[in-house]
Structure 1
Amino acid sequence: MTAVQTVALDRSWWSRHGGTVTVWSVRAALVVALLVVWELTADRWFDITFTSRPSDIWTRLAEWQQDGTLWSNTWITVQEIVYGFVVGAVAGALTGFLLASAPAVYRVLDPFIMALYAIPKVALAPLFIVWFGIGMNMKVLLAGATVFFLVFLNTAAGVREVDRGLIDAVRLMGGGRREIMVKVVVPSSMTGLLTGLKVAVPYALIGAVIGELVASNRGLGYLINDAAAQFDTAGVFATLAVLSVIAALLNLFVGLLDRRAGRWKPMGTDR
């Protein structure tokens, strides 16, 4: 029998990364083109009172950076996002595993959970203000409440879709409840959990900023309200630019979660 030899392909750097470089180059060109057109047409085609312009936005960001306004408020919002995500994700994952592991209890509570999930989270803000004030705790819990349901529902779905044949096989081999949970339920439901975490990441940002917009004296949401109250359109756009950067970083994190979740998918499930 003739042995089959594997020959490594000597691929150039461009053949390996050319597609990615091209995509990012086109994206950068689109952003630059948009900013140039915006700058040139501002105050000619549009009233800068309502649209501002990139140079004014950059000036406002520079001013806020120099006096510390930008970093102090950004840090507050980032903390609210991180804490809210952690609180909501941990509570959602644990609750999802526990309730989905008790089908009878889950069936009883399912309509109540869905009713709470259907409530717009911005409607909870006034109630949270009454309970927790306008400090960081309110924004963290509002972000956590937003994250909780997304993680809970995806985790519970993952647990409920575990292959019953695998559970029966472990039982036939003498495995108890602990072995079934550790060796079957947790690994099999991990895709649902990671999907919930991936989907919930941007909503932590949304929940935190909504809380700041409703009532706050710190954070990026507060900066938006303060700038809008002074008809400072450049300040509003500057804050939105910072939020866009944070959202982009969160999307990178989501991409890492997505690749991580892909490792748990059985082969042949992607079509």
Structure 2
Amino acid sequence: MSSEAVVLEQSKKRAISKRKLRKRKELLKLTAIRIFILIVTLSIWQFASGRLIDKFWISSPTDVMQAMYKWTISGELFFHLSITMQETILGFVFGALAGGFVGFLLGRWTYGAKIFEPFIMSLYSLPKIALAPLFILWFGIGIDMKIILAAVTVFFLVFINTYAGVRNVDKEMLENIRIMGASESQITFKVVFPSALTWIMVGLRTSVPYALIGAVVGEITASNRGVGYLIQYSAGQYDTGGTFAALIVLMVFSVALNYIITTVIEKRFMRWKTEN
């Protein structure tokens, strides 16, 4: 290897190291700011509770922590959270697979899209919470109903993004590739799918909280298990601290699930994407 090549390689390594160091510093800075905002918010909440606003309405961080501690010691938290996790994850997986498949199929099948798109969009316009009573009638109040409700909610979000991603592939580029002799399977898996993958990932990220919403709405509507049940039960007992505790558990779970989607799945399928 020539001396110029060695110098160039060393320069590239130094540039990469500097970029990584800069990103690490930026992450630490953002983390510090977020922790500061969280501490200030909790401090204001604790101070206002019972002094500026009645505890009955906003509870307090200490009451919320006590409720979480009680649920953790008794095992209630892990039991109910595991039910909600199962409903959310299964609903997300089934809904994402179905939405991705139908969106990709109709995106490639123009005539079929003209036939079915009005029906799908009319169903999408329905508030999903309005389907809960009907799903209870059809599937009962067991875990199946919550999974299906979550899956239906996720389906439409993933479908719309997948369909839009497939339809937005450059038509001129597709024609040029066909002229060069590419088969439809090669076009589908080597051109259309990679081009639409960014849209699909946006749909998956967007649908994560909605999968949780579908599961929790089902639990609140009719259930004796799950974090949604804890919210309903705590609110029925006028336990504001317990209600806030259950909401915070849902927030943490949603953030963790979204982190898995964005870091594990996206990096696995979008390794080619250049990081900013």
Q: Name the TM-score, length of structure 2 as normaliser.
A: 0.88
Q: Is the 8 A contact 2:208 2:254 kept in 1?
A: no
Match 1:84 to one of 80, 91, 105? 91
Q: Is the 8 A contact 2:146 2:214 kept in 1?
A: yes
Q: Is the 8 A contact 1:191 1:261 kept in 2?
A: no
Task: Evaluate the alpha carbon distance shift between residue 11 and residue 190 of structure 1 in structure 2; reply closer, same or farther with a 3 A threshold.
Answer: closer
Q: Is the 8 A contact 2:65 2:245 kept in 1?
A: yes
Per-residue CA deviation, residues 27-83 of structure 1 (Å, 9 max, x unaligned), is 112211222222233212111112111111111111111111100000000111100
Residue type at the aligned position of 1:137: D
Q: Distance in 2 between matches of 1:167 and 1:98?
A: 17
Does residue 43 of structure 1 match 2:53? no
What SS does structure 1 have at the residue aligned with 2:212? helix
Task: Evaluate the alpha carbon distance shift between residue 16 and residue 191 of structure 1 in structure 2; reply closer, same or farther with a 3 A threshold.
Answer: closer
Task: Evaluate the alpha carbon distance shift between residue 14 and residue 159 of structure 1 in structure 2; reply closer, same or farther with a 3 A threshold.
Answer: closer
Q: Distance in 2 between matches of 1:13 and 1:106?
A: 45
Displacement of 1:21 = 1.1
Match 1:154 to one of 134, 138, 161? 161
Task: Evaluate the alpha carbon distance shift between residue 174 and residue 13 of structure 1 in structure 2; reply closer, same or farther with a 3 A threshold.
Answer: closer
Q: Which position in structure 2 is the counterpart of 1:128? A: 135
What SS does structure 2 have at the residue aligned with 1:154? helix
Task: Evaluate the alpha carbon distance shift between residue 178 and residue 13 of structure 1 in structure 2; reply closer, same or farther with a 3 A threshold.
Answer: closer
Q: Which position in structure 1 is the counterpart of 2:182? A: 175
Q: Identity, % of aligned pairs?
A: 43
Task: Evaluate the alpha carbon distance shift between residue 30 and residue 119 of structure 1 in structure 2; reply closer, same or farther with a 3 A threshold.
Answer: same
Per-residue CA deviation, residues 146-184 of structure 1 (Å, 9 max, x unaligned), is 100111111111111222233323332333332322222
Q: Distance in 2 between matches of 1:154 and 1:264?
A: 20
Residue type at the aligned position of 1:248: V
Alignment of 1:61-210 (within 5 A): 61-210=68-217
Does residue 239 of structure 1 match 2:233? no
Q: Distance in 1 between matches of 2:142 and 2:165?
A: 35
Q: Name the TM-score, length of structure 1 as normaliser.
A: 0.89
Task: Evaluate the alpha carbon distance shift between residue 112 and residue 264 of structure 1 in structure 2; reply closer, same or farther with a 3 A threshold.
Answer: farther
What SS does structure 2 have at the residue aligned with 1:77? helix
Task: Evaluate the alpha carbon distance shift between residue 152 and residue 13 of structure 1 in structure 2; reply closer, same or farther with a 3 A threshold.
Answer: closer
Does residue 20 of structure 1 match 2:35? no
Q: Distance in 1 between matches of 2:21 and 2:132?
A: 51
Per-residue CA deviation, residues 74-108 of structure 1 (Å, 9 max, x unaligned), is 00001111000000000001111112211011012
5+ long unaligned stretches in structure 2: none
Q: Distance in 2 between matches of 1:20 and 1:173?
A: 46
Task: Evaluate the alpha carbon distance shift between residue 150 and residue 34 of structure 1 in structure 2; reply closer, same or farther with a 3 A threshold.
Answer: same
Displacement of 1:254 = 4.3
Task: Evaluate the alpha carbon distance shift between residue 260 and residue 161 of structure 1 in structure 2; reply closer, same or farther with a 3 A threshold.
Answer: farther
Q: Distance in 2 between matches of 1:61 and 1:38?
A: 17
Task: Evaluate the alpha carbon distance shift between residue 119 and residue 3 of structure 1 in structure 2; reply closer, same or farther with a 3 A threshold.
Answer: same
* TM-align CA RMSD: 2.4
5+ long unaligned stretches in structure 1: none
Q: Is the 8 A contact 1:198 1:258 kept in 2?
A: no
Q: Distance in 1 between matches of 2:144 and 2:231?
A: 20
Q: Is the 8 A contact 1:162 1:188 kept in 2?
A: yes
Q: Distance in 2 between matches of 1:32 and 1:67?
A: 28
Q: Is the 8 A contact 1:92 1:152 kept in 2?
A: yes
Q: Is the 8 A contact 2:103 2:159 kept in 1?
A: yes
